[in-house]
Amino acid sequence: MPDLRERFRALDDLEVPDVMTQARLIGPRPPQLEPPPTTRRIGALVLVAAIAIVAVVLGARALRQPVSVPATTGPDVAPDRERVGFIGLPPEGATPSTPSTGELVVSLYGRSTTDGGLRFRAWVYADGRIVWDKEGDYPYGANGSTTGYLEQRLTAEGVELLRSEIVETGLFDRDRALRSEGVIWGLAQVRLGDRLVEVDWDQDPRGETRLHFTDATPEQAIALERLDALLTHPASWLPRSAWEDQQIRAYVPSRFAVCYSAAHGGIGSSAVLRVLPDGAANLLRATADGSDASCSDVAIEEARTLVEILDDAGLERDERSAHIRLGYSFEPSVPLAPGPIENTVDIFFEPYLPHGEFVECSPCG
């Protein structure tokens, strides 16, 4: 899985202007051939007053409510405007997304200057599925902070149109990491033949990753601004004909990654498993991912069993990121290692995506 580097730096506060609309009467008054009768004048005045009152009421209501995106440019929303997304395990009886696997064609991840700096992630598959999540409060979202993982479906032509729009920026002839002041940060992957080409950009890369970045040329900076504009939900820039099913549904995974670690560095997964309830430790050992001994690959029902065991044992949920993912953070009753250490264990659940990978840190960025 590509390295989606953890970025915990805060964005500068975005100043949103207070836009007010003022109506002006333009042009001369139309001539009247004869004055209307008094009763007609009174009736007209009453009608005008009623229209004005309705306009004021509707205007005040509009200021209190989010503006819905037109169906021709934004994702379809269920008429009842109920929340669709969820955090953690799917509701009982939810049908997993099909097919269970898919070939990744495009992935987008980052914060766009054209979208208010809100974090957006999307994965587009050859079968037409687009799985995505976005920061913010939306009627279909899981909560007031994020949408959770959602799913829609493009046509085959829509997938190719989306891929082509990104490739035509001219940046994807090879992997790149570019520094440019005109963008915030992002990561895009596009399938070209049998491989995914990756372009990473940042206005101010930090840590060791900054060593891999080069300054964008003027032409590349312009191309990055174009790519930055695409780092939003594709419904804002794809035509309606590109969609096979624009209705928003929750993405229901078939499997979860359950990862566990100690807050104190240098403590291995075996030491962490020793302080877990026996049932949880045995299940995690039996399902350990061979590529990463600190994570296990579990089916939905196994994940439900794990949650039941951990909750019954009284382990504390991790409230720091509860709005984004299911996790636990607790101090075991026995020390993880000798000496003065931070005796804390973290466990988190992340859904597997159709291409067989998971977001290593969904709260990051």
Higher local confidence (pLDDT), 23 or 320? 320
> What confidence tens digit (pLDDT) does each residue in 130-187 have?
999 999 999 999 999 999 999 999 999 999 999 999 999 999 999 999 999 999 999 9
Average pLDDT, rounded, for the chain? 81
> What confidence tens digit (pLDDT) does each residue in 182-218 have?
999 999 999 999 999 999 999 999 877 778 899 999 9
pTM of the model: 0.76
> What confidence tens digit (pLDDT) does each residue in 158-168 have?
999 999 999 99
**Residue 48, burial from CB neighbour count under 10 angstroms (0-12, 13-18, 19+):** exposed
> What confidence tens digit (pLDDT) does each residue in 280-324 have?
999 999 998 765 569 999 999 999 999 999 999 999 999 999 999
> Which value, to the nearest 10 degrees, does the dihedral of the CA atoms of residues 98, 103, 104, 106 take?
-100
Residue keyed to tokens 């799913």: 151
DSSP letter for 146, please. B
Higher local confidence (pLDDT), 334 or 104? 104
Residue 106 confidence class, pLDDT cut points 50, 70, 90: very high
For a pLDDT cut of 70, what percent of the chain falls above it? Answer: 77
What separation, in Å, do the N-terminal and C-terminal C-alpha atoms of the chain show? Answer: 17
Alpha carbon of 90 to those of 43, 133, 239, 347: distances in Å?
Answer: 59, 15, 31, 18
Higher local confidence (pLDDT), 254 or 58? 254
Residue keyed to tokens 């992630």: 121
Residue 263 confidence class, pLDDT cut points 50, 70, 90: confident
